[in-house]
Amino acid sequence: MSQRSLTVGMLGCGTVGSGVVQLLDEHADEITARLGCHLRMGPVAVRRLSLGRDVDVAGLTDDPRAVIDHPDTDIVVEVMGGIEPARSLISQALTAGKSVVTANKELVSTLGPELFALARAKGVRLEYEAAVAGGIPIIKPLRESLAGDRVRRVLGILNGTTNYVLTKMTEQGMELGEALAEAQRLGYAERDPSADIEGYDAAAKAAILASLAFDAEIVAGDVYREGITGVSSVDIAHARRMGYVIKLLAIAEDHDGDIGVRVHPSLIPASHPLASVRESFNAVFVQADAVGDLMFYGRGAGALPTASAVLGDVVDVARALLSGQRPTDGAPAKAKALRPVDDLTVQYYVLLDVTDEVGVLAEVATAFGHNQVSIKSVWQDGSGERAQLLLITHAARERDVQATLHDLRGLDHVRAVASVMRVEGGEV
């Protein structure tokens, strides 16, 4: 058995790909021992052959088809990123009967259903642990360990850049721009940070997690999304005084068979396990019927953590190949109804700039009550020109809260609705 060997062909060799080459080399002996088979790096396709590389790769080519079609290639790793040519190449590999491991969040979150259907039809595997939360094993636990349970809700801190920024704002009182500049300096944020800051990255990952947790076809475009650009250090300070921390949360919930998926800044209780996830770490908090609360915590990005997840999938696929396993994932994911945000029931934090006069609170409270939104707690802050009212509501229908906000904007004593954010991880 130990004489057998399997060959990994790779598409792309940037930081993650180089990490895969490095780990496969460094851990070759342990992998061989555990697998009972040698796992070797085969041909690797890169865009430009001339580029200098940190790792030693023998079979470099600029023709990705040569990797896929190579008779030695048993498993294809795709770490190019982006939609094309990754989509076509993965399709070609699957069609050729080769299992694929990808780290491509963008592709899986948009065209996952098409690719999974192809893998099923060809009786091969398409694995993507590295596409969500980097090195944290979450795909496999959701799919396999909780197979006999029923997931109700997934709350995730899925973007390291925004979590780093919010941590700096919380712990050092920085404003968003300052914290973001520091994140860019440290390499935690891109020069154009909009994919992170506006929540697109987290939304793509949320779609993948929701698809898996609820066995549903959900793509990134289905996810309701708000970024963190509206979060100020004032909000964070107010939240802290009331016992909350502000995080960019991805939330996927099962509402009696309808699925709601959204990404937005949220207040969570300071005692919630997600509240202590600091800096660029990621975490996924899962609530299931039988097992209760679970949390998975770790590095959500970075070359080696991501490469570790890719290699975990590769070893898994290799094990299946060795054992002659054919995938039996049963029926394809179902098209489930999406629950629009308007129909959700959520708690809210509302910050109002008000005139410092008698009767303000009565006027505001009436606007809430008129829309069937019940107030859980109120704080008055400042005076004169800087008078503010902070309110936390009980769980209420989103559309009722929106109607309340509309009414508040028309009140004599309300100068502005300074901030509005949902509260998660508590009641509901």
Place of tokens 């909009």: 194
The footprint of a copy of itself on residues 81-140 (CB under 8 A) is 129, 135-137, 140
Q: Is 305 in the site for a copy of itself (CB under 8 A)?
A: yes
Cβ contact 233:173 at 8 Å? yes
Q: Is 79 in the site for a copy of itself (CB under 8 A)?
A: no
Q: Which of 122, 168, 205, 247 is catalytic?
A: 205
The footprint of a copy of itself on residues 134-193 (CB under 8 A) is 135-137, 140-141, 144-150
* Closer of 286 and 350 to a copy of itself (Cβ): 286
- In the complex, the smallest distance separating the C-beta of residue 154 from a copy of itself, rounded to whole angstroms, is 14
Using alpha carbons, list the distances in angstroms from residue 405 to 32, 178, 242, 287, 377. Answer: 61, 30, 21, 31, 17
User: Which position among 319, 336, 399, 415 is part of the footprint of a copy of itself (CB under 8 A)?
Assistant: 319
Total of chain residues touching a copy of itself, rule CB under 8 A: 71
The footprint of a copy of itself on residues 267-286 (CB under 8 A) is 271, 273, 276-278, 281
- Of the ranges 219-227, 236-244, 308-316, 346-354, which one interacts with a copy of itself (CB under 8 A)? 308-316
User: Which position among 66, 242, 295, 378 is part of the footprint of a copy of itself (CB under 8 A)?
Assistant: 295
User: Which position among 307, 351, 352, 418 is part of the footprint of a copy of itself (CB under 8 A)?
Assistant: 307
* Closer of 292 and 410 to a copy of itself (Cβ): 292
Cα–Cα distance, 380 to 344 (Å, whole number): 28
- Of the ranges 46-54, 218-226, 229-237, 321-329, which one interacts with a copy of itself (CB under 8 A)? 321-329
205 is an active site residue: yes
- In the complex, the smallest distance separating the C-beta of residue 64 from a copy of itself, rounded to whole angstroms, is 23
Name 192's Cβ contacts closer than 8 Å, sequence gap at least 6: none
- In the complex, the smallest distance separating the C-beta of residue 137 from a copy of itself, rounded to whole angstroms, is 3
- Of the ranges 26-34, 67-75, 228-236, 395-403, which one interacts with a copy of itself (CB under 8 A)? 26-34
The footprint of a copy of itself on residues 37-76 (CB under 8 A) is 37
User: Which position among 324, 358, 383, 385 is part of the footprint of a copy of itself (CB under 8 A)?
Assistant: 324
User: Which position among 195, 291, 365, 375 is part of the footprint of a copy of itself (CB under 8 A)?
Assistant: 291
The footprint of a copy of itself on residues 191-250 (CB under 8 A) is 215
The footprint of a copy of itself on residues 329-388 (CB under 8 A) is 329-331
- Of the ranges 23-31, 80-88, 154-162, 348-356, which one interacts with a copy of itself (CB under 8 A)? 23-31
- For the four alpha carbons of 131, 133, 139 and 142, in that order, the dihedral sign comes to negative
* Closer of 50 and 328 to a copy of itself (Cβ): 328
Cα–Cα distance, 103 to 301 (Å, whole number): 11
Q: Is 293 in the site for a copy of itself (CB under 8 A)?
A: yes
Query: Which residues are tagged catalytic?
Result: 205
